[in-house]
């Protein structure tokens, strides 16, 4: 392959990996977690922004400008919980500490840095998984049916059941006084909810169903409480060949599709280049073969007379 082609391939792969590869960290509720981000050393940093693309609320996880945290650009939920490890940002270190983690902090955190004279740039991405000690983890294949278990030990008359998914604004199923609203993919394990069993069955699972599901129950005379949390992991049993979806962030799926597409294009370019070079060598060899001269008629007549 020619030098320009190799250069193009390396550049494409470098850019792709820089955007799509994210660090994965697993923590527990109550922990503090370090989110790493390294800006160019010696650069004049205008601002630092950490955000979570899956958040519905406008604003960032952390915004630092003019040597101070700007809470006007920060989601209130993160006020007082995020700080730079080094307020001086020496050597371009713009890592932050997220304090007092809870289950709602699960998601992908992106670090954007703007330096003087340049546009904002995505520097790093950290996939944070908050795992409750009581959280169930279930791994299934696409096409399977799966039971998400939830058993309320309090007993009593269940007034409200709500199954939610952390990365979705829509409820999985809601039951008020046993009158339920859900889509065709979901059904209660026991419609009577006997003994506090409010487990649900998720039918014909696909990769988009991966994620963290939470079961909230309100019994008469008490408030709604989180009873169980289930982390559903879906393995693509079809054309995905070993690809596993954890459901932490939808953008990761897009990155993977882009990665596979770019790799396919690069392989096609490589194969085409090899075929072209081989064909060129063969044509050159053919041109170098000496031409066969036509027989001399006089020589042919002389040989014929000698034979006679």
CATH architecture of 136-245: Sandwich (2.60)
d(CA 233, CA 248): 10
HSE toward the beta carbon, residue 85, CA cutoff 13 A: 16
Identify which of 103, 61, 79 has the alpha carbon closest to the alpha carbon of residue 212: 103
User: Per residue of the chain (308 residues), what is the pLDDT tens digit?
Assistant: 555 554 445 444 444 434 444 678 888 888 899 999 999 988 899 999 999 988 767 789 999 998 889 998 899 889 999 999 999 999 999 999 999 988 788 889 999 999 998 999 999 999 888 776 667 889 999 999 999 999 888 778 899 999 999 888 788 999 998 899 988 899 999 989 988 899 999 999 999 999 999 999 998 888 888 888 899 999 987 654 445 565 544 444 444 444 556 556 677 767 677 776 766 666 666 565 555 555 556 655 655 566 55
Q: What is the DSSP string of 249-274?
A: -HHHHHHHHHHHHHHHHHHHHHHHHH
Rounded (10°) angle between helices 3-20 and 250-288: 170
H or E segment and range at residue 4 = helix 3-20
Pairing verdict, β 136-141 and 225-235: parallel
pTM of the model: 0.45
Dmax (CA) of the chain: 127
Identify which of 200, 182, 183 has the alpha carbon closest to the alpha carbon of residue 191: 200
Does the fold of domain 136-245 match that of domain 21-132? Answer: yes
CATH fold of 21-132 reads Immunoglobulin-like (2.60.40)
CA angle 37, 43, 49 (to 5 degrees): 40
Residue-range domain boundaries for the chain: 21-132, 136-245
The neighbour count for residue 157, using CB atoms within 10 Å, is 10
């Amino acid at each position: 392959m020619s030098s320009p082609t190799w250069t193009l391939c390396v550049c494409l792969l470098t850019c792709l990996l820089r955007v799509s590869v994210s660090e994965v960290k697993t923590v527990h509720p109550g922990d503090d977690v370090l989110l790493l981000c390294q800006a160019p050393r010696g650069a004049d940093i205008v601002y630092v922004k950490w955000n979570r693309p899956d958040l519905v609320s406008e604003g960032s996880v952390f915004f630092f400008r003019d040597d101070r945290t700007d809470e006007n650009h920060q989601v209130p939920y993160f006020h007082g919980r995020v700080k730079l490890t080094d307020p001086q940002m020496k050597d371009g270190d713009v890592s932050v500490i997220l304090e007092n983690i809870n289950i709602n902090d699960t998601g992908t955190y992106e670090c954007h840095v703007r330096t003087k004279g340049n546009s904002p740039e995505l520097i790093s991405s950290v996939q944070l998984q908050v795992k409750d000690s009581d959280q169930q983890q279930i791994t299934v294949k696409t096409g399977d049916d799966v039971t998400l278990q939830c058993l309320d030990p309090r007993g009593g008359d269940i007034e409200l059941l709500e199954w939610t998914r952390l990365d979705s604004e829509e409820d999985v199923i809601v039951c008020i006084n046993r009158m339920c609203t859900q889509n065709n993919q979901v059904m209660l394990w026991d419609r009577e909810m006997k003994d506090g069993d409010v487990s649900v069955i998720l039918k014909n699972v696909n990769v988009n169903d991966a994620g963290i599901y939470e079961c909230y129950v309100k019994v008469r005379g008490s408030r709604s409480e989180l009873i169980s949390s289930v982390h559903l992991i879906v393995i693509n049993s079809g054309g995905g060949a070993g690809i596993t979806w954890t459901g932490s962030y939808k953008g990761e799926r897009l990155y993977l599709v882009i990665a596979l597409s770019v790799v396919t294009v690069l392989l096609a370019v490589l194969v085409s280049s090899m075929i072209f070079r081989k064909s060129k060598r063969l044509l050159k060899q053919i041109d170098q073969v000496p031409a066969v001269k036509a027989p001399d008629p006089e020589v042919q007549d002389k040989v014929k007379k000698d034979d006679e």
